[in-house]
Structure 1
Amino acid sequence: MAKGDKPDKPERGTRIPEQGSSPEPSDLEIRRRNLQEKLARYNSAKKPDHEEGESGPPKGMAQAIRLSSEFLAGVVVGVILGLGIDQLAGTSPWGLIIFLFLGFSAGVLNILRSVGAVAPSQIGKNGASRQDEGPNKPE
């Protein structure tokens, strides 16, 4: 029984079928139609994760691949930048180590932004703002 619903009790004056007797066919038809309507409303309100006929991986798998690729991209970019700095400056292995850690932290930050645990970056949203511009601009 759903929360808040009254228990199914027959109204006064209605005939309750006796044990062993079968209900009327019209009663069964009405109940079947009511059940079909309720199921149709329930199914239309419920959104499936994976549509029939839709090709491709399910939603969870797609998100896992996206998150892992964002993390790997940050680490790979950090390694490439670190190796480049080491080649130019001759500071092997320090550039690699520093930029590997920076790439790792950038990858983790990308994952947290994708999941929604951290607010997206506001850099460049409205352009750079200067203190001498805007509504309080001195004249």
Structure 2
Amino acid sequence: MTDHREEDLEERRRRLTTELAERDAKVKDDERAEINADQTRKGYGMAMKISSEFISAIIVGALLGYLFDYFVGTGPWGMIVMLMIGFCAGVLNVMRVVGVVASPHPADRRLDLDDKGNGR
């Protein structure tokens, strides 16, 4: 009788061990899927930020060029020049967001102004 109980107990332990191992594997798979989904969301967010900064710089440049041409009467030249400046500003913004070009730190700009003001 005691032998039969021990066998049943060992069988239950083995079954419990396999069920726990399967559950742990499933939880780890779920965690990996959540990490991948989080990285994908971050990527989409970064893509939206980059594209919106690039497009908005071009639109602002074109709008300023159009207004300049409207009030000054220079024809399409103001719009062409400001559109190119807007494109360059958009590329610079994209490069800053990606990390290729670093924006100057405010403390560095303040030091440069102090150095110029002191006659150095």
Structure 1 and Structure 2 fold alike (TM over 0.5): yes
Shift in alpha-carbon separation, 1:131–1:60, aligned structure 2, 3 A: closer
- Name the structure, 1 or 2, with higher relative contact order (CA <8 Å, separation 6+): 2
Percent pairwise identity:
31
The alignment's C-alpha RMSD in Å is 3.4
* Cα deviation, residue 93, structure 1: 1.5
Question: How many Å apart are 1:133 and its aligned residue?
Answer: 7.5
What aligned pairs does 1:1-139 form with structure 2 within 5 A after superposition? 24-41=11-28, 43-44=30-31, 47-49=35-37, 58-116=41-99, 118-122=100-104, 125-126=106-107, 127-129=109-111, 130-131=114-115
Greater fraction helix? 2
Gap regions ≥5 residues in structure 1: 1-23, 51-57
* Counterpart amino acid of residue 112 in structure 1: M
List alignment gaps of at least 5 residues for structure 2. Answer: 1-10
Q: Kindly tell me: are residues 66 and 89 of structure 1, through their superposed partners in 2, closer, same or farther at Cα, counting changes over 3 Å?
A: same
Q: Give me the TM-score of the superposition, normalised by structure 2.
A: 0.62
Q: Which amino acid counterpart does residue 67 of structure 2 have in structure 1? A: G
Equivalent pairs counted in the alignment come to 105
Deviation, structure 1 residue 78: 0.6
Deviation at 1:111, TM superposition (A): 2.0
